[in-house]
Amino acid sequence: MNERKLTSSMDKAMIIRIICIIILDVVLINLVSFLALYMRFDFSYHNLETSGFLEGVIKYAPFNTVFTVLIFVAFRLYTSLWEFVGISEMIRIGIAVAISTAINYFL
């Protein structure tokens, strides 16, 4: 019985961890998109706003976020034990990011 409780609490902890990582990915995906343009316009929000690119990023953000997270799920990036990342996980990360970038480029 104690073993079952331990497994159940470990499953809950794993689910909470995965949800937190997905939320962090969603925030970072969108933050990086904004910061890339912000840097491109010499850290001037006024220049960024008047360029018209900000509206494009805002309109495109949901697609970018959903496709990127789905690709990360497909490559099982949320189920790895990050304490023990090896070469195979690094290759999966690289491939997932490359595919996500390619798909988002063509949207």
Consecutive 10-residue runs of the chain (107 residues): their mean pLDDT? Answer: 60 87 94 92 91 90 94 88 76 92 85
Predicted confidence at residue 95, as pLDDT, reads 94
User: Please, what is the Cα angle at 92 between 35 and 63, to 5 degrees?
Assistant: 45
Task: Tell me the C-alpha distance between 89 and 81, whole Å.
Answer: 10
The letter for the amino acid at 85 is V
pTM to 2 decimal places = 0.78
Predicted confidence at residue 15, as pLDDT, reads 87
In the block, which residue shows the tokens 């390619």? 102
Neighbours of 100 (CB within 10 A): 19
